[in-house]
Amino acid sequence: MTRDSSSAQVRAPSRLSFHARAVRGAGLALSLLLACAAVPSGALAAAPVQAPVVTGLPDFSDLIDKVGPAVVNIRTTERVTRGQGVPGEEEMQEFLRRFFGGQIPRGGRGGRPGGQGGGVEEQVTRGVGSGFIISADGFVLTNAHVVEGADEVTVTLTDRREFKAKVLGADRRSDVALLKLSAGNLPYLRTGDSSKIRVGEWVVAIGSPFNLDNTVTAGIISAKSRDTGEYLPLIQSDVAVNPGNSGGPLINMRGEVIGINSQIATLSGAYNGISFAVPIDEVMRVADQLKTTGKVTRGRLGVQISEVTRDVAESLGLGKARGAEVAMVEAGGPAEKAGIKVGDIILKFNNQAIDTTRDLPRLVGATKVGSRATVTVWRRGSQLELPVTIVELQEEKSPTARPAPKKPAPGVAPNALGLVVSDITPAQRGELGVESGVLVENVQGSAATAGIQPGDVISQVGNTPVGNAAQFGALVAKLDPKKPVALLVRREGVSQYVVVKPRQ
């Protein structure tokens, strides 16, 4: 799936640097529509919705007095080798760091290995973030990107006490890190239940934007379950969050932490009215694993998936668009062993519905490694339930390269879809990793418009598998020219349904 890269970027408000981690996301442009309608004379008007009357804004002062001491400033440093450089270079670097933030690249004479004058290793400030204490014995939560690459982490409390923190572990997928201070009897925050949050409720953020310690901002929860992360839905709020707020708590009116402020949607690098927090329920699951093992283990099914469009759903008899389309099955992986095939639509995982493709990796990732699960798939017009044993998530393998197509024989005309195909040889089956299908030799018309290319392999027409070119031609000849058809197309090891409309 591709998303509009020209839209607002989602940035991590981590340090003084305006080069915070960007996350690709859907466009975040908003529009406001106002409309009026007159009620015809004599018509019965609907009763207005009864809503509580807002009598005033809340006072956060008592809440901040209570929770503020448990919020900390986090400063990270790294060891760098500085050369002798030129007169005034260090003063200029310090000026840039103080007013523009973050680490400034150090080129020039003596600043690189082999430069003139050698160099001296020393500690320099790398960035500033926020965090909060979750236990009296010194466990601290923050974002993984706040401490990533740091050689030393310093935690400062509101009473100005400073501690060198040990990073027990960091998980980049959830952007959560767990630190430990060698101290006791510390103030700490209670965690709430992020599954019970409500859109519109008041929340408060405390952190160190632009290194301004214990800055308090307030707002409301704007939305729940925003899909800006692969393994977790984020909390959206309109609380002002800026570079340096990363890792700080998002707190409800009961003084409970419901999330860690992690990202902002911005066009400028600073707050633009939309910020995101990692739900505390997910944070604590990650923190428990980091505390025990120093890393996070997630379940893996061994498939690549893609979105099920409305046209594909209708063509396959699914009705509405739902589920996750299996685009690739890892050889020897748990999905292959369970009998899951390319082109299957995964509808449920352990009886939990898969409404969008984003639901599946979250459910599988949260499943204990080694446990058995049931996957419900849609295959060729019917549902199947397949048992699968979940294994540990690993790095994805590179896709298989596709062979160059042969030149079509002279005089071969494209079929009603605009395709010229040929049989796949036994050698090509092994090279492509397919059992059957036809190889696309030439593309025109509707198929070309749909994005099919020479070298693609077509293994299914609608719900019918394709064995050879003759069968493919017979299936296409029977298609209704008024209805689009979904072809299961494989390219570079990944399969996807492509909807093509036959010409009349």
Task: Using alpha carbons, select from 326, 313, 323 the residue that is nearest to residue 496.
Answer: 326
What type of residue sits at position 455? G
User: Burial code of 197-221, b = ≥16 C-beta within 10 A, e = fewer?
Assistant: beeeebbbbbbbbebebbbbbbbeb
Q: Which structure tokens are listed for 352? A: 């939990």
If DSSP codes are grouped into helix, strand and coil, which group holds residue 72?
strand
- Note the helical H segments in 197-352: 280-293, 310-315, 334-338
Contacts of 202 (CB under 8 A, 6+ apart): 58, 218, 219, 220, 252, 253
Cα 83 to Cα 101, 106, 112, 117, 124, distances in angstroms: 21, 9, 7, 6, 14
What type of residue sits at position 352? Q
DSSP string across 424-445: PPHHHHHHHT-SS-EEEEEE-H
Active-site annotation holds for 145: yes
Task: Using alpha carbons, select from 418, 474, 416, 483 the residue that is nearest to residue 449.
Answer: 418
Question: Is the separation of the CB atoms in 177 and 169 below 8 Å?
Answer: yes
If DSSP codes are grouped into helix, strand and coil, which group holds residue 273?
coil
Q: Which one from 171, 175, 344, 359 is the annotated catalytic residue?
A: 175
Active-site annotation holds for 246: yes
Task: Using alpha carbons, select from 135, 15, 144 the residue that is nearest to residue 77.
Answer: 15
Task: Using alpha carbons, select from 143, 130, 140 the residue that is nearest to residue 23.
Answer: 143
Rounded Cα distance between 221 and 336, Å, is: 42
Rounded Cα distance between 427 and 40, Å, is: 74
Helices first, then strands: H and E counts in the chain: 10, 29
Q: Which structure tokens are listed for 121? A: 């290793």
Q: Which one from 237, 246, 422, 446 is the annotated catalytic residue?
A: 246
Torsion of CA 280, 285, 291, 294, to 10 degrees: -110
Q: Which one from 130, 145, 222, 495 is the annotated catalytic residue?
A: 145
Question: Is the separation of the CB atoms in 74 and 153 below 8 Å?
Answer: yes
In angstroms, how far is CA 25 from the centroid of its own chain? 8
If DSSP codes are grouped into helix, strand and coil, which group holds residue 267?
coil
If DSSP codes are grouped into helix, strand and coil, which group holds residue 360?
helix
Active-site annotation, residues: 145, 175, 246
